Amino acid sequence: MTHSPNQVHSAVRDHYAKQALEATDCCASNPSSTCCDSKNVLYPEELLSTLPTEIASFSLGCGDPITLADLQAGQTVLDLGSGGGLDCFLASKKVGENGSIIGVDMTPEMVERARVSAERLGYKNVEFRQGFLEQLPVEDSSIDVVLSNCVINLTPDKPQVFREIFRVLKPGGKLAVSDIVSNGPLPAALRENIQAWGECLGGALDVKEYTLGLIESGFTEIKIQPRSDLGRLANTLPAGTPFSATITASKPL
């Protein structure tokens, strides 16, 4: 990749700042994005029905990490790339008043949007912090579950992100992620297209590289699968094609 980390961060931040300020729904403004479901239905209806429409419809993700994580009452949860706060608010319902949610996002406009929504809706157990995934503003061994939804692919230094996730998780903690990966290295033209990074395409990591990165960071019980509605289709895609996947892993006790 010829782009520097700063260039990638800048391009991604600009892309999502625009979404935060102008769009009510990522998929409405950019329906061709890999981050968008063809019907824009990523979560069970019973989950979304607990939130106002303007929040429930602001989806920037590529899956449903909330259901994947099987959150429990009282847990402390970290959402990487929390955007407008949708996954944080859904997670809040799962962990209850004795649990807590931390959302981290590098885009000031997204953090502000999420904070305003949290205050308006009265979420007392949710907070939002500005920061990079490569240097999380979170204490060591303080998190039960780390969530992320179509964000790790946007980062220029994924091995460092994996190390940071491992650092903040408690022993026995869990990673539950929806992300864009590829079945082989991306074509160079796609990886070098800086606009494609913001659209969840240019930064997709090969499944084998993703798995190796998690292993080298210390994770066990790693499982990477195509999103359930893709079925066997992902296995028939041409080499180097990005697709949505669910990813789980554990920090050993």
Mean pLDDT of the chain: 89
pTM of structure:
0.90
Question: In the predicted model, is pLDDT for residue 40 greater than 60?
Answer: no
Q: What angle do CA 118, 123, 126 make, to 5 degrees?
A: 80
DSSP string across the chain: --S-HHHHHHHHHHHHHHHHHH-S-HHHH-TT-TTS-TTS--S-HHHHTTS-HHHHT----SS-HHHHHT--TT-EEEEET-TTSHHHHHHHHHH-TTSEEEEEES-HHHHHHHHHHHHHHT-SSEEEEE-BTTB-SS-TT-EEEEEEES-GGG-S-HHHHHHHHHHHEEEEEEEEEEEEEESSPPPHHHHT-HHHHHTTSTTPEEHHHHHHHHHHHT-EEEEEEE-GGGGGGGGGSPTT-EEEEEEEEE---
Residue 204 is predicted with a pLDDT of 93
Residue 158 is predicted with a pLDDT of 97
Give the tens place of pLDDT for each residue, 103-146. 999 999 999 999 999 999 999 999 999 999 999 999 999 999 99
CATH number at residue 235: 3.40.50.150
Mean local confidence (pLDDT), 217-246: 85
C-alpha 174: how far from its chain's center? Answer: 14
Indicate the number of domains in the chain.
1
Q: Which of 61, 66, 67 is nearest to 27 (CA)?
A: 61
Q: 202: domain range?
A: 5-250
Q: Which of 86, 78, 58, 178 is nearest to 129 (CA)?
A: 78
Percent with pLDDT over 90 in the chain? 67
Question: In the predicted model, is pLDDT for residue 45 greater than 80?
Answer: yes
